Every structure is written in structure tokens, then in C-alpha cells.
Structure 1
Amino acid sequence: MPFPNTNSTTASTGPKNVAAWALKPTHRPLVVSSAPYTTPPPGHVVIKVTDVAVNPIDWILQDDDLFKLSYPTVFGQDASGEIVQVADEVPDLSVGARVIAHCARKPGVDVPSGATGAFQKYVVVQAGAVAEIPPEIASSTGVVLPLGISTASAGLYQKAALALPFPSVDGKPDPLGRAVVIWGGSSSVGSCAVQLAVASGAEVVTTASPRNFEYCKKLGAAAVFDYHDEDVEDKIVKWLEGKTVAGAFHTVGKDGAVEACARIVERAEGKAIVVSVKPVDEEVKKRLPKSVRTKSIGASSIFSDEVGKHIWKEFLPQALRSGIVLPKPDPEVVGEELRSVQHGLDTQKRGVSARKVVVTKIS
């Protein structure tokens, strides 16, 4: 059965589209059914999706109607595939290009509910959130990057966050003379944050499980410590002696991780700020040193300032060609076609380590 919201002027006849629909809040499982093919509005493209990756926010949205969305809708933010339609005001992308995309609805754009969710065969994406990938990177590998890159960029480069200089495209950044603490270097966001911070000339100290120490070092981390250790904070503070910190980035972690980051930067020389991918509630703030500022960040915000354009248009395509940015963590393919997306959500919810859940052969 086809689903509604086809009244928008952007809905049109076209290729047969199919989506993995969330029918209503907290409903399980996703239902695979026909969907409108949506013509892209100005500044957008349509991508024929070949692969999708699953992020924690996807199963969180299924379990909890966090943002009070309009239903039925389509979840998903990480997609790869081929551009099949290009709207006006898109000078740098063309039909047939192999791309990865951060699928997120752009405020104020008239598209049907669900048209911008990744979990479908044809998705509408704002052109500023699309990057071409070189032939040597498989689409099922490149798809691990989009949301991680955008989230890491929001934390590292936005002026209200860590405000690092933009990363170098030649792989030879000027030394920043600053260290960045990244909590959770083997996570999806952490893997991107480590690589980007290093490309900006920062020294990176991160946390991970011992089995992922070498993984983090290969991404460029100068030091890695076990977040399980009772004295992990003391070890990081000792490593930071004689260095100046640009702040800490909480990319993942159980309760208490934000507080740990805050205590570390409070004891170190430099900028006393903790950037977090999660909201920092008032109860947590009461437990933080008074000298430490916190900033919660959202990935989509980079497309409203200069960060999104620089990272997605000027840096990422070149960085993927040169190997400055590697598609990490590695994909963990859990199935094929849209029927496997629900299994992907369930797998991600159970937890993966230094891997990202991917579903292939969507189209």
C-alpha cells in the first residue's frame, strides 16, 4: 500500500520508489511499502540509494518519539548511491555521480514527510550534504561516514564549540600547538573526530577499550587510554602535562563521561570546554567544575553556517581521494534490501565495537 503526504508540489510521477516506513510513534517493525518519488526542489538532488548505515539515533527515534515527528515517516541519515536527478542551483554535482550523503530535512523546504529519510530507494538530499567518492571506495564502505563527519565537524569547528582551524587538504597541517581530548575514539563520531582533529594540526588523546587501541592510533591518535580504568582521568591529565588543551569532545559513553571530560580539562592548561553529542542536563551541570563550559551539538547545524560548506564541499571529496580521511569505522553488513533495515536497527541497539552497521543492495 502506498503511503500519504503526496500533495506537495514536489511529489511527482517518476521511478518506482519503496521505503521502510515508520507508521506511527514507537511502532515496530518498520514496514516496507511503496513511497512517492519526489522531484528535488532547488538546491537538492535525488540519489538512487545502494547502501545505508545505521546510527543510534535511528533506533532511538523508533523507540521514543523524541522530536514529535509527523507520521508515517522514513528514518535514516547515512546513504550512498548514484545521483539520478539534479535541481536548479546545484552547480557542482551531476547525474551519474557516485556519492555519500547526510540525509536530513532542510528547514523551510517543501518536501513530503519522509522524502529526506535514507531508508528508501530514492531520497531527496540537500546538495550541500553530498560528496562524491572515488572509484576505489566501495559505496558500502563510504556510507559509514556521513553523520559521523557532520557531527564531528560540528563539535570541532563551530565557533561556539572547539573552534579548531579547518583541516588541511594536503595532509600537512601546521602544528596547532593544542591537544584535543576525544572520549570514545573508536565510535563512529569519534573515528571521524580523531581524523579531522589530526588534519587540523591538533594532538589527539582519546579513550577506547584496549582491543581498539591500535585502531585509534592508526587513525592518528597520539595516545589512547582505557576508559574502564579507575584512574583514566589521572593518566590523561598526566599525558597532558606541558600541553595546552583546546577542549574535550564527548562522542559516546555511559553516564559519567561528560563529568570525566570536564574534570580533565579543568585540571589541564587551556580551554575549559566540553562538547557533547548528547544534551547536558541541569543535574549533570551541577556536578561539573564551575570553570568548565559545556556545549551540546547537532550534526545538521553545520549546514546553516560555513562549516558544512567547507567540510562537505572543499575538504571531504579531496580528503577521500588522498586518503587523509578513511571511511571508518569499518562496515558490518547485516543484510540486504530494505527488509533488512529493521534488523540493522536492532543490531545497532545491541551494540557494536569499532564497526558501523550497514545494509546493502537497497536498489
Structure 2
Amino acid sequence: MTDAPKIPDTMVAVRTRGPNRLYLDPTTPVPTVRPGYLLIRVLSVALNPTDHKRLAIFGESSPHTMGCDVAGCVVLCGGNVDQDYVPGDRVAGLCYGMKPGDPSSGAFGQYALLKGALSMRVPEHVSDAEAATIAVGINFSGLVLIYGGATATGMIALQLARLSGCRVLTTCSPRNSQLVKALGAHHTFDYHDAETCGPAIRAATGDGLMFALDCVAEGNSHRICAEALTSRGSGVARYTASLPLGDVFPRDDVQHGWTSGYSSFGEGTHLAGPLREANAADLEFATRFWKLASALLFQDRLRLGPLVHLRPGGLQGVQEGLSELKSDRVSAEKLVYVL
């Protein structure tokens, strides 16, 4: 008979102390496993722009554990998990960092809770550092524009679009052009010249681009996408951003909106404006999508290596990494910290 794992009462975690303020708390309670969730011992974490952006918005509701991207080993299963996980399994998944009303929901600690439906086993050929880059990035035939192809989300999105049979166009810096082409992009465009980038994409697609996914959602990204999409929008062309843009999208003839990975938990979310009610369809879609992504990873058809930039310091290094993200000093890579 195997003894139950010994789990401490407290752990070290990166916690919020107010808007744009965080600290390393060695007295953070270890999360309690609940139905539908896994308790994991964290092996590595990765940073995303959403981490520092949520710190600015929700930091005042402190203290909360930060972070979304995580990989680790299963310690306990809470039941009602639609996969046969056992203690010791290597897994990767998505945490709801800084979730209002749930101080223990984040990834940046020695232990973390993973929603079983939003997790996957990690194949042997994928390292713990690579596995930590999966979660936030995962979330038809024809042309599609991936704006920000060298972002972490963009590099995953363009691979999935290519595997779906799409002809993929993307924006990036010239130095990252070969990287994104190796991952599946057919054509790249330099976004630095905001006046010519959009028209150049429209010309290259014969005024036929119908879909744009904006993985940056800042600066001129929405305007460039609007100018790249077909002039024959007629309410059929579609623009989707990774962040809420309010009413700034300049074309009424294009369907436009934004998507939030947090809605995939099937729970109410806070991101922009009032609480968004839980949407069971989002969880159902995310569950199917995670299973698909897991299969692609095990088949070695989804590449993670180019994303990884291993950084020293473990959890202590997270604050410096978030500062680099906030100041836009990270490109074509994901900062990963091994515990």
C-alpha cells in the first residue's frame, strides 16, 4: 500500500501586494484540491503579458497568487477529472492567476491547482521548461493573418492554423521572419511601418483576407489588421483580438471582438468592465481543444522549443521577468523559470 504524499501546509509563492506590487510569500497556504482539479508540485512556470496587465488591474484585491502557465507533477486528483491521471504524472496546464475571490488560483508557487479539463500529460520528448509554455498559447481552409507571429501565442496559433490547412500570413520583426516561417507562416510582413503594412498585406492577398487574429492588441495592431482585411467586409470578415479594445476598431463592416483564455474555465471572469458570466460552451470547446493539442504534442507536430528562454532565480526571478515583459523587451521567446 502506497503512503499518501506528504503535503506541507504552506509554500513559497509570488503574491500581489497592491496594484503593480508583488512579493515572495513563504507563508502562502497550499491550495486544497477540489473536484475537477489536480494538485501539482510545480516544476516550471512561464511568464505572459497577461500577468503584469492583471497585476495593474486586480492587484488591489490582494493578496493573490500570480501566474497562468505551469508544468509539474500530479500530487493529488480531486475526482471528476476526465482523464486517468495518477500521482507522479508530468502535466502542463492553465491556472487562473489573480482570480478575484480565489487567492490560491495562480501558478507561481511551489504547488498549484490545475483544472483537469485544461491540462495535458507531457510527453517524454518535451522538457519541463518547454511544457510550461503551452497553456496560454493554446486557447478551415483559406487565408488567415496572425498579427504578432513571434509572440508566444502567435507561434502556437500559426502552427495550429497551418495544421488546419490555412495559408498563414503573419507580422513580425525582420529578425524573426525565418523563425516564424519555420513554424508554418507562408508570408511575413514588417509591422514597424504602420502606414504600409496593412495595404501590403491586402495587396498580397488580392483583397481576399477574411480572418485576422491579433495576438498583440496594442499600438497600431488593430488599424493594421483593419487595413489588411478585405475591403469587401460585408459583415463576413472577422477580426479577433487577444485583449479588449473597446470601440477603437475602425471598421463597422467587419465582425470584431476579443477572446479571453480565462473564460475557458467555465466560470465567471473579470477582465474588462463588469463580471462576465460563466459560459459552459467555452469550457466545452476548451476541453476538446486541449485534447487535440495534447495529441499534436505527443505526435511531435506542435513545436515548443523556439519559445523557451530559461532564466535563473526560480520564483525569485519572476518579478524581474515581468518588468522586462512590461517594458516590451521580450520578443520571439517565453521567459521560463524552473523551481
Aligned equivalent of 2:186: 222
Match of 1:79 in 2: 70
Shift of 1:183: 0.7
Residues of 2 paired with 1:299 and 1:61: CA distance?
Answer: 13
CA distance in structure 1 between the aligned counterparts of 2:203 and 2:131, rounded to whole angstroms:
37
Alpha-carbon offset, residue 336 of structure 1 = 2.9
Asked if residue 96 in structure 1 is aligned to residue 74 in structure 2, the reply is no
User: Aligned partner of 2:331: which letter?
Assistant: S
Match for residue 190 of structure 1 among 131, 150, 154 = 154
Distance in 1 between the 2:203 and 2:106 partners?
45
Q: Cα distance, 1:115 vs. partner? A: 1.8
State the TM-score, normalizing by the size of structure 1.
0.80
Kindly provide the amino acid, as one letter, of the partner of residue 233 in structure 1.
G
Query: What does 1:226-305 align with in structure 2 at a 5 Å threshold?
Result: 226-229=190-193, 230-241=195-206, 244-252=208-216, 254-267=218-231, 271-282=236-247, 284-285=248-249, 288-304=250-266, 305=281
Q: CA 1:238/1:112 → structure 2, altered by over 3 Å: closer, same or farther? A: closer
1:136 to 118, 121, 125: 125
**What is the CA–CA distance in structure 2 between the aligned matches of 1:327 and 1:186, rounded to whole Å?**
12
> Which of 20, 31, 36 pairs up with 1:43?
36
Q: Give the letter for the 1:97 counterpart.
A: D
Pairing 1:312–2:290 present:
yes
Q: Which residue of 2 aligns with 1:58?
A: 51
Instruction: Give the whole-Å Cα distance in 2 for the aligned partners of 1:293 and 1:102.
Output: 28
2:107 matched to 1:118?
Answer: yes
Matched AA of 1:44: Y
Deviations 1:193-238 (A, max 9, x none): 1011112111111110001111111111111111123422222112
Aligned CA distance change for structure 1 residues 211 and 253 (closer, same or farther; 3 Å): farther
Q: Runs ≥4 in structure 1, deviation > 3 angstroms?
A: 67-70, 268-271
1:240/1:268 contact within 8 Å kept = no
Which amino acid letter does the alignment assign opposite residue 87 of structure 1?
A: G
Residue deviations 1:215-269 (CA, integer Å, cap 9, x gap): 1111111111111234222221122128x53411111154221021112214267
Give the CA deviation at 1:23. Answer: 4.2
CA deviation after TM superposition for structure 1 residue 54, in Å: 0.7
Unaligned runs of 5+ in 2: 1-5, 267-280
- The answer to whether the 8 A contact 1:71-1:113 is kept is no
Q: Does 1:343 align with 2:320?
A: yes
Distance 1:278 1:343 in 2: 23
Residue identity matched to 2:237: A
C-alpha spacing 1:289/1:113, structure 2 compared with 1 (3 Å): closer
**Alignment partner of 1:207 out of 161, 171, 189:** 171
Return the match for 1:322 from 292, 295, 299. Answer: 299
Shift of 1:83: 0.6
Q: TM-score, normalized by length of structure 2?
A: 0.85
Q: Distance in 2 between matches of 1:279 and 1:329?
A: 28
Match of 2:135 among 140, 146, 158: 146
Could you tell me which amino acid in structure 2 is paired with residue 257 of structure 1?
S
Q: Superposition RMSD on alpha carbons, in Å?
A: 2.4
Contact 2:43 2:128 in 1 (8 A): yes
Post-superposition Cα deviations, 1:122-161, rounded to whole Å, max 9, x if no partner, equal 11111011111111110111211211112xxxxxxxxxxx
Equivalent of 2:116 in 120, 124, 127: 127
* Percent identical residues: 28
Change (3 A) 1:55 1:105: closer
For residue 49 of structure 1, what is the amino acid of its counterpart? V
- Relative to structure 1, is the Cα distance of residues 342 and 297 closer, same or farther in structure 2, using a 3 angstrom cutoff? same
Listed one character per residue, the Cα deviations across residues 82-117 of structure 1 (whole Å, up to 9, x for unaligned) are: 01100111241221111111112799xxx9833220
- Equivalence for 1:355: 333
Inter-partner Cα distance in structure 2 for 1:139 and 1:17: 23
- Pair 1:106–1:18, CA change in 2 (3 A): closer
Asked whether the equivalents of residues 32 and 338 of structure 1 are also in contact (C-alpha less than 8 Å), the reply is no
Give 1:156-175 correspondences, 5 Å limit.
Answer: 164=140
